[in-house]
């Protein structure tokens, strides 16, 4: 399941070159993750638990075209891999007005024990189920 949110670029998101600052996109991706869970019907407590309880292990961002103040962006997010303890999201951001590709990205996350990735504990069942639904993962 590919989930898309719309983000209006705020003036605060821009930098002196007049474009969205390269760090700001990570906040957009994060917002798309949270909204994807919300769209599945997860309650607020679960969305908060997801955001607090998972660690980002790596992020890869490919900047394809600049975005500017007041642009309306479509930020799509979906899940590509879910293992017992880790999962990977993929993202695409397009400018809504002309479908220009602005950014593609991937992040890998794990379930944390507060210090690092939990080695023993697997993903909570509610999260595993949600991630399966957000991925193109055939049930075994």
Footprint on this chain of a second copy (rule: CB under 8 A): 8, 10-12, 14-19, 21-24, 26-27, 30-31, 34-35, 44, 47-48, 51-52, 55-63, 65-66, 68-70, 115-116
Q: How far is the CB of 29 from a second copy (least distance, A)?
A: 9
CB-hemisphere CA count at 13 Å for 35?
A: 16
Q: How far is the CB of 5 from a second copy (least distance, A)?
A: 9
What are the strands, taking DSSP E only, across the chain?
A: 3-8, 54-63, 72-82, 86-95, 101-111
Give dist(CA 108, CA 52) in Å, integer.
15
- Closer Cβ to a second copy, 76 or 137, answer by number: 76
The phi, psi pair for 130, rounded to 5°, reads -65, -45
Q: How far is the CB of 103 from a second copy (least distance, A)?
A: 10
- Closer Cβ to a second copy, 63 or 126, answer by number: 63
């Amino acid at each position: 399941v590919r989930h898309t949110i719309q983000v209006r670029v705020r003036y605060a998101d821009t930098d002196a070159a007049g474009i969205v600052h390269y760090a700001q996109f990570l906040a957009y991706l994060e917002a798309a993750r949270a909204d994807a869970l919300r769209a599945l019907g997860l309650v607020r407590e679960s969305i908060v638990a997801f955001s607090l309880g998972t660690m980002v292990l790596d992020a890869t961002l490919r900047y394809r075209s600049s975005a500017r103040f007041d642009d309306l962006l479509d930020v799509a997010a979906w899940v590509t891999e879910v293992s017992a303890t880790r999962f990977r999201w993929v993202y695409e951001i397009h400018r809504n007005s002309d479908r220009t590709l602005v950014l593609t990205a991937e992040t890998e996350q794990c379930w944390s024990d507060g210090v690092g990735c939990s080695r023993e504990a697997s993903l909570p069942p509610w999260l595993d189920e949600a991630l399966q639904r957000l991925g193109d993962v055939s049930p075994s």
